[in-house]
Structure 1
Amino acid sequence: MAKSLGLAIATAKCPCCREGNLFPVSPFSYRKLSATQKHCEVCGSNLIPEPGFYDGAMYISYAFSVALVITSLVSVTVLVEDPKLWMYMATVVVLNIILLPAMLRYSKTLYQYAAGKLKYRGD
């Protein structure tokens, strides 16, 4: 059964077969944060087409970080009557630490789907 594009991205699967994992560990794991599979274990596609390919994912990761900062600052402002500076800082730091693996890996996943030359082959 073929997975939809959205489900394949959400589960960090290979763009060609949408079955093999892009990462050796879960996208939410703190282990091997920068590790990416070299080849898909299902279809054998090359997931790292050139040295430094995933460097472009930094732009997506930066957008995730900016969105997280803006969301957390607005949330603290709305939820706390008289917020102090340390509340803003603590919220941003804690959320960045908690969401670091997901933001890093999903930025790579989105970059692979957007800029990678791999296209879905279907069944």
Structure 2
Amino acid sequence: MFGRGSKIYSILFLKCPRCHKGEFLEANPYNLGNFNKVKEKCPKCELKYSLEPSFYYGSMYVSYGVGIAISVAVYILIRLLNLDVTPMIIFVSIVTTLFVLMPYIGAISKSIWANFFFNYDESVSKQITPKSNK
């Protein structure tokens, strides 16, 4: 379910939507020098990641949904742990969590957006051979 070949694998590990082997981003989401910069194409299967200029603007809508889901998860977690906290502490907890996860939320949102448009192709993935260390 979460292995190579599933969209969840591509999304969570920020891999190419088609081959699941190439990196999706230029650098780690927390590298602020290349903040969530998507590569032009997959280094393994040569898939062009952007279908048109401003292709990833739609990922802002996905980012909103992911942020809401994380906010709800933090709230439910606080309630499940029976923490006796004020609404202000709950608010600060949610805002802090969103702030800390902001780079990863942005990266995952772009990956989700790309996975709407590109599908895994097992035949392409099998053609890619690992580089030998000689």
Q: 1:119 to 1:4 in 2, by over 3 A?
A: closer
Superposition pairs for residues 78-89 of structure 1, below 5 Å? Answer: 78=80, 79-81=82-84, 83-89=85-91
Contact 1:9 1:110 in 2 (8 A): yes
Q: 2:21 — aligned with what?
A: 19
Q: 1:99 — aligned with what?
A: 101
Q: 1:119 to 1:72 in 2, by over 3 A?
A: closer
Q: After superposition, what is the alpha-carbon deviation per residue over 1:69-98, rounded to whole angstroms, capped at 9, x for unaligned?
A: 2222233344322x2232012101110012
Superposition pairs for residues 49-88 of structure 1, below 5 Å? Answer: 49-78=51-80, 79-81=82-84, 83-88=85-90
Superposition deviation, residue 16 in structure 1: 2.3
Q: 2:112 — aligned with what?
A: 110
Superposition deviation, residue 108 in structure 1: 0.8
Q: 2:130 — aligned with what?
A: none
> What is the Cα-based RMSD across aligned positions, in Å?
2.1
Scaled by the length of structure 1, the TM-score of the pair is 0.81
Percentage identity across aligned positions? 20
Gaps of 5+ in 2: 127-134
Scaled by the length of structure 2, the TM-score of the pair is 0.76
Q: Count residues in correspondence.
A: 119
Q: 2:11 — aligned with what?
A: 9
Superposition deviation, residue 67 in structure 1: 1.2
Give the Cα separation in 2 of the matches to 1:38 and 1:21.
Answer: 11
Gaps of 5+ in 1: none
